[in-house]
Amino acid sequence: MSRFHFQDEPDGAAELAALLDDSGVPYERSGGRFQLLFAKRGRTWRTVCDCEGSRVLVYGIHPQPVADWTAALTVCSDMNRQIVQGGCFLTQGRIVLRTGAELLEALTAREALARALEYNAAVMASFWDVLADGAAGPHQ
């Protein structure tokens, strides 16, 4: 019997858990919410994935607390004009990059999830210094 049921909508949480398990990525899970640490280019940040049905939202959270909201909002606005997918915003004193994946079929679900996670990580790593400067605000 095949694991693929082509008429069924993919379960984002099950597909994400399988992808992370197969990749050996450590994570914590509470229902449809996954938390993991991402590291790229010597930088480490927390990534949270929220799954509901076939939709998975990926939140890359910059670790530096926001000291200057005006500077951080300016950085978010600048990033939102440059990135192709998702959006950058402030919440709970941190700059967050949200991307996501809509899983259309079981056969391509893991590939779509991997692309969403990789894109989020690539943007976080590429804009790391800009995000840190935005969180810190103007230097005195």
Phi and psi angles of residue 126, each rounded to the nearest 5 degrees, phi first? -65, -35
Helix (H, G, I), strand (E, B) or coil at 18: helix
- What is the pLDDT, as a whole number, of residue 41? 81
Strands lying side by side in the sheet with 43-52: 28-30, 33-40, 43-52, 55-61, 94-102, 87-91
CA atoms of 32 and 1, how far apart (whole Å): 26
- Is the full-model pTM beyond 0.75? yes
- What is the pLDDT, as a whole number, of residue 138? 77
Exposure on the CB side of residue 62, measured as CA atoms within 13 A: 31
Distance between the two ends of the chain, CA-based, in angstroms?
A: 65
Which domains can be identified in the chain, with CATH numbers? 12-136 (3.30.1460.10)
- What is the pLDDT, as a whole number, of residue 139? 63
- What is the pLDDT, as a whole number, of residue 58? 98
Mean pLDDT by 10 residues, the chain (140 residues): 64 96 96 94 94 97 95 95 95 96 92 96 94 82
- What is the pLDDT, as a whole number, of residue 92? 94
